[in-house]
Every structure is written in C-alpha cells, then in structure tokens.
Structure 1
Amino acid sequence: MVKMNCLGLLISLLFLSCSDGGDNDGGVSDIKPSNLSITANVAGVDSENPNGDGSGIVDFTISSTNAAYYKVNVDGKSVELTENTFSHTFLKKGTHEYPVTVSAYNSGGYVSTSISVKVYVDDELELVWQDEFDQDGAPDPNHWGYDIGNGSNGWGNNESEYYTDRLENAKVENGVLKITAQREDYEGFEYTSARLLTANKFDFTYGRIDVRAKLAGGGGTWPAIWMLGSSIGTVGWPACGEIDIMEYTGNNPGKVQSALHTSSSFGNTINYKAVSIANETTEFHLYSMIWTEESIVFLLDDVAYYTYSPTPRNDQTWPFNKDQFIILNVAMGGNLGGNIDPNFETSTMEIDYVRVYQ
C-alpha cells in the first residue's frame, strides 16, 4: 500500500506539472497576446485646437493581455518597449495624419494593430533671440557674461578647472564660439576653461532652443548646454529649476544625456535620459529643447528622445513656469566628468549658433 501511494503521488505531481501552462517571459503566459489596443492623446486638444496645441507632442497608451513587450512603428521610426506608455514629438510643420502600428509579443507569438493620429505642428514659431557668432574676438557682451572662478560660491560640482573670461578659454573665430579647456597652472588650479551665461541679458519662458555644436572630448571633459531658473538668486537651487539640454563626458563617448533638476529630484536626478550619438567630437550636431506649459522635450538632430511631463505637476516637480537663462561651458572632472586623463592637454567645444524661438 505504501508503494502504491507513492506511485500515485508521483503520477499526480507529473500530471500537475504537465498540465500547468507555466509562466514564460517573467510570468506572461505562452498563449499569444490578445485584446491589443493603442490610444493617442494629442497635447493641447480642445474645441479650438482639434489637432493639438502646435507642439507636436502625443502621448500613447498601449493595452494588451499577456504581452511581454511591444514594438511600435511611428513617424518612420521603430521602437521596442517593455512599458505600455510612451511619448513622441512630431516635427513636420502643419497638420498631418500619421499611421501608428503596435505589435505585442510573448513566447507564444504576437498580434498587431494600427491607428491613425492627426497632429498639428506650429509653423509660425518666431526667432526671438540668436547668436550666430559671426564677429571674431570676444563673445558679444550684449549676449554673454561669465562665471569666474571654481565655484567656491556654491555653483561648483567638485570640478577641477578655473573659469576665466580670457580669449584663451572663450573666443569667436571663423564663425563659431570656441570654449577651450586646457591644462595650465592658474590661480592655484591645474586647468582653465570658460562658462558663459545669458543671465541678466536674456531669459525666457517657453519656446524652442536650438544649439548646433561640436563637443569637447578626452577623459575628464564635461561640456554642457543647459539652463537655470532666473530666480536662483532668491529661491536658490534646485528650487529655481535646471534644464540640462545636453551633457557629455569624455569618459563615456558615444552618449549624450538630458536631465531635469527640481526640488523633487536633483543631483543624481531620476529625471534624465541618455541617447547614442556618433562623431560627437568631430562633427556638428543639433541639440534642441521644446518647452511648453505641460512638457519639456529633448531632441538630438531633430529627433525627440526624452519627454518630461510630471504627474503631479506642482512647485516640487515643475518650477518650469518661469524664466530661465542659457549656460554654455566645458568643465573638467567633477561629479559627472570623472577622472581626468593624465595626458590631457586641451580640448574645445565649438558652437555654430544658439537660436531661441517662441
């Protein structure tokens, strides 16, 4: 009887094991996905703007049963997702209708569906401020001021350079602004560079900024194109808000990143995204930011790769309803730049133009 009971138990366990469908793909059934749908929420749709507010921003939500991941084809691009929400910024001016196809996958197969979304992109943006860097010599003092020193007054990030206003570190030549970091003994520091800013000369709320640049490189370099809230002198950082349009480190070639710093997340902020890039130190690329009342979108060569649109939206997460000014600099080392190559001598970020549209 004991032997028979053990045999019966073994048969029962085998039966249960075989009859259990099992969980594949992290708990998703091997029965192929079903009930797939995708919805689009065009930013700023109302009775007067049925196709959106002109920003071109669309938030998508995917729903499916048993999906492990998704593939989306939108605006000529293919994206693979594990989350069921994503945002895309359409850039073609005027009103256009776009097909969007999504496929849901797991080990059992896939299903696909499509929708069509009509989007209006404002074609009436006005150029409100620019510097084309056409006059050789020092940067235009009507446009740019300088931070001088190493940040002992609070704006340093453990960086190793001393910022100057000398032509050796910042000059306009052959149609580009050149910000040069170099090894030299100066004011007790081993490196010099420049940090230019439009504070008290130009700031703005909402719009698009385009900066065409070739980046400085080499281990320890940290070129950046960014913005700070004009209220920093009264509310301090990070309450003023910081928008990092582009940050690059020579110790991590082939990647640039964008980030937001607010009272809710700052320093090692969770609000950032990196994107791959090629020839960043040898060729010019376009670094852009589109800033509206509801979102901030970052673009590389006119391709959107990160959208910040927080929920909830309050003073902690969204200080971006007030003026900000522009900063261009090349840091050395520091919290993000990391270790400096002992053989480093000099490297330059070249800026072809800075343009602001509203």
Structure 2
Amino acid sequence: MLVSVFANCKKSGSDGAANTNVAPTNLSINTTVNTDNSGNVVFTASANNAVSYDYDFGDGTYQTVPSGVVTYKYLASGTYTVNVVAKGSGGTTLSKSTSVIVTVTQTVTWSDEFNTPGAPDPTKWVYDTGTGDNGWGNSELEYYTNRSDNVIVSDGTLKITAKKENFGGSAYTSARMLTKGKFSFKYGKLEIKAKLPAGGGTWPAIWTLGDDFATNPWPACGEMDIMEHKGNDLNRIFGTFHYPGHSGGNANGKTIVIENATTQFHVYALDWSPSTIKMSVDGNVYFTFANSSAVPFNHNFFIILNVAMGGTFGGAVDPAFTSGTMEIDYIRLTGN
C-alpha cells in the first residue's frame, strides 16, 4: 500500500502531461500601426504555455483573443498604453504592457452648420407636430409645431423655442425636428454645440432613435440620449441608453454637472463604435457604455432635437415661465 501511494504521488507531481497549472512564460507583444491614418493597429501577442490572451487596448475596450493576433481600430489620435494578459490552462497568468502612437484622420461625413437664415434645411430635417397624444407621451404639456415662432435659423444658430401660449388645446408650444427618412448613421462621433433653455419645466433633448422603430417598437429599436437637461435641475446633464430591460425609469444612464449650461455653448458628444459608446461634454467623457451584439446599438439611428415642457422628466413648470430657447451652433458627424 505504501509503495502504491508513493508511486501515484510521484506520477501526478512529476508527469508534465498531467499538470494543468503550467504558467505562461516569455510573453512578447508586437505591434504594426497602419500608415494610412485609419487607426488600425495589428497586435501579435505570444507566450509559451498560453491558451488565450486578454487585451486592454487603452481606450476603455477589452477583448479576449485566443490566438493572440488581432487588428484593432482606434477612433481618435493618441498614445495608448496596451496591456496584454496571457492566460494558462490552469488559470495562471502573465501580463505585459506596450504603448502605441496612433494618428487618425477624421472626416466630416454629415453636418448642419445652420448658417442659412430661415427654416431649417428641408433636405435634412422633418418635424413631429401635435401633442403628446400623437405618440411621444411622457405627459408633456407642449404642442409641437413647425412654425418660425418655434423653430428658425438666424445669426448662425438653430433656435428651438418653447413658448407659453394656448395652441391646439395645449398651454405651451415648441418644436421637435428629426432627420428621420433624410439621414441616419451607424458609428462615428456625433458632436452638437448647444446652449440650453432656462426656466423651470423646460426639458431640452438631443437624442437618437433606432431607424427600425416602426417595425421594432421602442425600446427594442434602441434610444441614445446624448443630452437631456431639466430646468428644475440646472447644469446637470443626463446621458442615457434605453433598450429592452433598461428603459423609461429603469434606463441605463449617468449624469455630469457642468457650469453655465443655459448661458454658454457646450459641445455634447456621442462617440460610438461596435465595442464602446462614450458620452462626453466639452471632451470630458463621463459615461462609457459597453456595446455588444446583446444590445440594439449596432444598426442605423436618426437624430432628434426638441424642447419639451413639463412631463414625467421636466417636472413642474415655473408659473413665471414665458419662453426658453435651445440654440445649436452646429451638428457634425465624423468618422474614418
């Protein structure tokens, strides 16, 4: 019996084929940055005894690569610290970091600079009109119109103005404009330079909705709210994602508090890729959302601009409110 036990212990401890906890060694990382300024970088990681490699690309994106070889596309120029973890079959790991310098040439693929006075460009914009009973709900108090009183381009900016006035059975008017049927996009960086309305009860929004909403009803179509603001909570900017399991009051969102949202222009941005979606104000990223095939953010979306009054989000309207305007200097979509 003692001989048998000794023999078995010797076999399990000395036979390399039976030992599954072999640590990776000699991890190396090679990088090849494409010279066409596309942002593409080819990474090749290799190590003895490794079965897979976990990449942290240094921009908030993570990926497991069994072979160790992957081409990753950066969306912006910069110096990125990339960390690679080689994983052994028994759970042992070995890590190493390297840095890459990437130059990305961004091109404007769609924009509206709002430089032509009068009505917004009809080749780019359409309107939702009517009250909340028409389908947008939220217990909003305004009647949306396409009148110049509520929406106009002048002095180099688009102006969407909510007014206290009786119209169509509502106590307020405003405008809601969309690129639906005119323009939609998938991925890229959308930047909107805007100054927001003041006044309790105002609810300006810059957002996007899935192109397939008519056949794939909300929230299945997806909604990305780039900027929402409440006049009853000055300077707090809301960035929010709505999708199945996370919609309405259970949406996935974060906020950032800025200064002078209603008196100065700020740049609100959505930076959207197949792996991450980032919300920022003036270049300050405050929300990074992990994109994947499990959520509806990998198809085309169109842009919506509006100023609502009251409702489930806007809250009580200040009795002294008479009008409030959201001004937009430009909207630019860049990609590469």
1:109-131 Cα distance to aligned partner (Å, 9 max, x none): xxxxxx97635555222210000
**How far did residue 150 of structure 1 move?**
1.2
Matched with 1:271 is: 252
Letter in 2 for 1:48: V
CA contact (8 A) 2:60 2:276 kept: no
Say if 1:175 and 1:121 are closer, same or farther in 2 by CA, change over 3 A.
farther
CA contact (8 A) 2:61 2:275 kept: no
TM-score normalised by L of structure 1? 0.69
Matched with 2:264 is: 283
**How far did residue 47 of structure 1 move?**
7.2
- Looking at structure 2, the residues matched to 351 and 120 of structure 1 have their Cα atoms a distance apart, in angstroms, of 34
Matched with 1:26 is: none
Question: Residue 223 of structure 1: which of 187, 204, 224 is its match?
Answer: 204
- Looking at structure 1, the residues matched to 42 and 323 of structure 2 have their Cα atoms a distance apart, in angstroms, of 54
Matched with 2:109 is: 128
Letter in 1 for 2:307: V
Asked if 1:319 is matched to 2:296, the reply is yes
Moved more, 262-271 or 344-353: 262-271
Say if 1:219 and 1:58 are closer, same or farther in 2 by CA, change over 3 A.
same
- Looking at structure 2, the residues matched to 46 and 140 of structure 1 have their Cα atoms a distance apart, in angstroms, of 36
1:163-183 Cα distance to aligned partner (Å, 9 max, x none): 000000000000000000000
- Looking at structure 2, the residues matched to 134 and 50 of structure 1 have their Cα atoms a distance apart, in angstroms, of 48
- Looking at structure 1, the residues matched to 214 and 131 of structure 2 have their Cα atoms a distance apart, in angstroms, of 18
TM-score normalised by L of structure 2? 0.73
Matched with 2:277 is: 296
Say if 1:214 and 1:119 are closer, same or farther in 2 by CA, change over 3 A.
farther
CA contact (8 A) 1:56 1:121 kept: no
**How far did residue 326 of structure 1 move?**
0.3
Matched with 2:68 is: none
**How far did residue 266 of structure 1 move?**
0.2
Matched with 1:48 is: 42
- Looking at structure 1, the residues matched to 257 and 179 of structure 2 have their Cα atoms a distance apart, in angstroms, of 29
Query: Between the two proteins, what is the percent identity of the paired residues?
Result: 46
Letter in 2 for 1:191: Y
Tell me the secondary structure at the aligned position of residue 335 of structure 1: helix
Question: Residue 321 of structure 2: which of 329, 332, 344 is its match?
Answer: 344
1:60-82 Cα distance to aligned partner (Å, 9 max, x none): 9xxxxxxxxxxxxxxxxxxxxxx
- Looking at structure 1, the residues matched to 258 and 185 of structure 2 have their Cα atoms a distance apart, in angstroms, of 29
CA contact (8 A) 2:75 2:104 kept: no
> Which ranges in structure 1 are unaligned for 5 or more consecutive residues?
1-44, 61-89, 99-114
- Looking at structure 1, the residues matched to 179 and 259 of structure 2 have their Cα atoms a distance apart, in angstroms, of 29
Question: Residue 57 of structure 1: which of 46, 56, 59 is its match?
Answer: 59
- Looking at structure 1, the residues matched to 284 and 173 of structure 2 have their Cα atoms a distance apart, in angstroms, of 34
- Looking at structure 1, the residues matched to 127 and 167 of structure 2 have their Cα atoms a distance apart, in angstroms, of 17
Asked if 1:177 is matched to 2:158, the reply is yes
Letter in 2 for 1:95: T
**How far did residue 254 of structure 1 move?**
2.1
Say if 1:175 and 1:238 are closer, same or farther in 2 by CA, change over 3 A.
same
Computed over aligned residues only, the root mean square deviation of the Cα atoms, in angstroms, reads: 2.7
> Which ranges in structure 2 are unaligned for 5 or more consecutive residues?
1-38, 46-54, 63-73, 83-95
- Looking at structure 2, the residues matched to 91 and 280 of structure 1 have their Cα atoms a distance apart, in angstroms, of 28
- Looking at structure 1, the residues matched to 41 and 200 of structure 2 have their Cα atoms a distance apart, in angstroms, of 53
Question: Residue 355 of structure 1: which of 323, 327, 332 is its match?
Answer: 332
**How far did residue 264 of structure 1 move?**
1.8
Matched with 1:329 is: 306
Tell me the secondary structure at the aligned position of residue 287 of structure 1: strand
- Looking at structure 2, the residues matched to 224 and 337 of structure 1 have their Cα atoms a distance apart, in angstroms, of 11
